Amino acid sequence: MRVLHSIEKLPAGLNFALAIGMFDGVHRGHQRAIGTLVRVARQARVEAVVITFDPHPAQVLRGAAPPLLCAPEEKLARLARLGVDTTVVQPFDTAFADQSPDQFLERICAHRRLVALVMTGESAFGRDRTGVLERIRELAEEMKFRAVEVARLTSDGGTVSSTRLRGQLADGRLADVRRVLGRRYAVTGRVVPGNRRGRMLGYPTANLAFDAPVALPADGVYAVRVGWGGENPLSPSRTADGVASLGVRPTFGGGARLLEAHLFDVDEDLYGQDLRVEFVSRLRGEKKFSSADALVAQMDRDAARARALLAGRTGDLGAAKSNAC
């Protein structure tokens, strides 16, 4: 897949079908829209093009963006896997936001031919989100392209959306998140030095830092699968099972919220590596222990339970009731 960083970089003379959006998480609703885009493009024998944005429009328009559901590199890899030919990561600023839908389409169609624009009934673009489907249908007649509507996907009685996903994550509902995503949830962060307390307790951990705020599940202890190395974030060259702790470490007086992963049977320097941590199952909530020895005894139980679950020696253990304190 070709990745461009401005719509002006799209080649002159290009014939293409288009979808526009953040596609954060590339959840099943996004997958349906992208699948429609690729199918329409293949039928018309044109390129399937996606336009997404950096930074998130909410950062520019409201001063704060929601936490990411997908690392940018992983989002691009998933769009490529779905069959997208070109993704434009368009810089988003106030001038870009101030374009009307007409101006935006005229800009992208300059010296190119738009064959179809794929949208849901709820999506919109342009100044004040005036580029709703009804208006785009009018422009489609004028500009001679197809406006293709994709029905919104529902799951468990609600619409599949990135906002809903963030709520499910915050509640620790990994099974619901997996149904909406079509896969297990994962985050990617860089390993940074910590206080080495885990090593002193016999459980060395990789402490993860993130370039931008990411959506994390509820505090607690998780069985995880970890990948690192290689060019494709979806196909890492190294993998390991492990157990991860997410929270403020109340046994040691609390602190900033931290994700730290202990990798089973791995003894190597991971500082500076980008680790992709996939949350398989929530084992328990975060808890304050009376002593370091009591904490280590619980960590032994957590590790044994995670090893059994990840090796398939037990059924899905599900999410334990939170006993955070």
User: Using an 8 Å Cβ cutoff, are 102 and 216 in contact?
Assistant: no
The pLDDT value given to residue 66 = 94
- The whole-model pTM stands at 0.89
The pLDDT value given to residue 322 = 31
The pLDDT value given to residue 316 = 41
The pLDDT value given to residue 28 = 94
Question: Is it true that domain 184-310 has CATH number 2.40.30.30?
Answer: yes
Choose among 185, 184, 177: nearest CA to 161: 177
Q: How far apart are CA 248 and CA 296, in angstroms?
A: 17
The token pair at 212 is 């931008």
The pLDDT value given to residue 254 = 67
Q: What is the DSSP letter of 250?
A: G
Q: How far apart are CA 59 and CA 55, in angstroms?
A: 7
**Beta carbons within 10 angstroms of residue 176's beta carbon:** 18
The pLDDT value given to residue 159 = 83
Using DSSP's 3-state secondary structure scheme, residue 317 falls into coil
The token pair at 315 is 């059924």
14-158 and 184-310 share one fold: no
Q: How far apart are CA 85 and CA 312, in angstroms?
A: 38
The pLDDT value given to residue 313 = 67
List the chain domain ranges.
Answer: 14-158, 184-310
Mean pLDDT for back-to-back runs of 10 residues, the chain (325 residues): 97 97 94 97 98 95 93 96 98 94 94 95 88 93 95 82 92 92 95 72 85 92 96 93 89 78 91 95 88 88 94 54 29
Q: How far apart are CA 2 and CA 50, in angstroms?
A: 11
The pLDDT value given to residue 318 = 39
Helical packing angle, 162-170 and 174-181, nearest 10° = 160
**Dihedral of alpha carbons 275, 189, 284, 252, sign:** positive
* Assigned CATH topology for domain 14-158: Rossmann fold (3.40.50)
The pLDDT value given to residue 199 = 63
Helical packing angle, 133-143 and 101-109, nearest 10° = 40
**Beta carbons within 10 angstroms of residue 146's beta carbon:** 14
Q: How far apart are CA 115 and CA 131, in angstroms?
A: 17
Q: What is the DSSP letter of 129?
A: G
Q: How far apart are CA 124 and CA 141, in angstroms?
A: 18
